[in-house]
Amino acid sequence: MADNNLSPVTVIGLGLMGQALAGAFLKAGHPTTVWNRSSQKADELVQQGAVLASSPADAVAASELVVVCVSTYDVMHDILDPLDGALSGRALVNLTSGSSEQARETAVWASERGADYLDGAIMAIPATIGGAEAILFYSGSDTAFTTYESALKVLGGRTTMVGEDPGLAVLYDVALLGVMWGTLNSFIHGAALLKSAGIEAGTFLPWATSWLDAVKFFATDYAGQIDAGDKKYPANDAKIETHFASIEHLLHESQTQGVNTELPTLVHELAKRAIAKGHAENSYAAMIELFQDPKAS
């Protein structure tokens, strides 16, 4: 049942994610208008109380808060470009995945049409939308976020505004995905090493997960060293040359155990380059200089 004290919201795009977003707004009581190219995808939402708009223009006219979640930014433009002045005075929240460059361009495009723009990145799957652990990053208009914060929080307990640069939500998203793939690849490589000696991945698992606590401890020190900006990188735990010797063991064991060596070879190469740049005595945080330099490779 819609609660007229809550902000009306329009959701454009009812794919897997858009349906979950609209469903969460409805569940929380927001008067919800929806539009999708294939209108049958609105059937279930209409049964739950959503209003199906007959055109994107009607959908945008229905609410000051307009959430878009379609497959690409080009699709979003195909839908919204023809509307011209209709976005004026609206808060446009774009949860379509794209690049930071697209987010910044779209913020300019929205501003030219008189809309406040928030770019969002969803770090959740449809089934977890609305849950306490769902992470949604937003960047762009502070006014839009502050005005609609309580409505946006309906989509996930870990809804966070990360800054006014519209590209930031995407950058947080990909940076965290990078942490995920780096960690998962290392875990799976480690599992392959132990499997070569007959040890189950499940036996390795608790050691791998508890080791992440140590990694967290190192990363905390390194974040401070990187942000200090003085390029000192004191080796409070271990020098890069000490890491390098251990990395050689990892590479050697991968070779002799018949495990794929691509990942340790990359890690070995990075540490070797850091040493060549004069960082042998520094902490692992000095690797930031390789990652900040696109020509370092």
Residues of this chain that bind ligand NAP (CB under 6 A): 13-18, 36-38, 41, 69-71, 75, 78-79, 96-97, 122, 125-126
Which residue number places its CB atom closest to ligand NAP?
Answer: 15
Nearest to ligand NAP of 69, 226 (CB atom): 69
Nearest to ligand NAP of 128, 147 (CB atom): 128
Tell me the closest approach of the beta carbon of residue 155 to ligand NAP, in angstroms: 11
Rg of the chain on CA atoms, in Å: 24
Q: What's the token pair of residue 170?
A: 């995407």
With residues binned 3-state (H G I as helix, E B as strand, rest as coil), the percentages for the chain, rounded to 5, are 55, 15, 30
Tell me the closest approach of the beta carbon of residue 47 to ligand NAP, in angstroms: 18
Nearest to ligand NAP of 98, 190 (CB atom): 98
Tell me the closest approach of the beta carbon of residue 121 to ligand NAP, in angstroms: 7
Closest alpha carbon to 34 in 1, 78, 65, 74:
65
Q: 149: Cβ–Cβ under 8 A, 6 or more apart, which residues?
A: 159, 161
Tell me the closest approach of the beta carbon of residue 54 to ligand NAP, in angstroms: 15
Q: 19: Cβ–Cβ under 8 A, 6 or more apart, which residues?
A: 41, 44, 45, 126
Q: 261: Cβ–Cβ under 8 A, 6 or more apart, which residues?
A: 251, 254, 255
Nearest to ligand NAP of 75, 219 (CB atom): 75
Nearest to ligand NAP of 37, 158 (CB atom): 37
How many Cα neighbours within 13 Å face the side chain of 93? 29
SS3 258: coil
SS3 199: coil
Element (H, E) at 35: strand 32-35
Tell me the closest approach of the beta carbon of residue 251 to ligand NAP, in angstroms: 36
Tell me the closest approach of the beta carbon of residue 176 to ligand NAP, in angstroms: 12
Closest alpha carbon to 20 in 2, 34, 6:
34
Q: How far apart are CA 250 and CA 267, in angstroms?
A: 10
Tell me the closest approach of the beta carbon of residue 137 to ligand NAP, in angstroms: 11
Nearest to ligand NAP of 72, 203 (CB atom): 72
Nearest to ligand NAP of 121, 263 (CB atom): 121
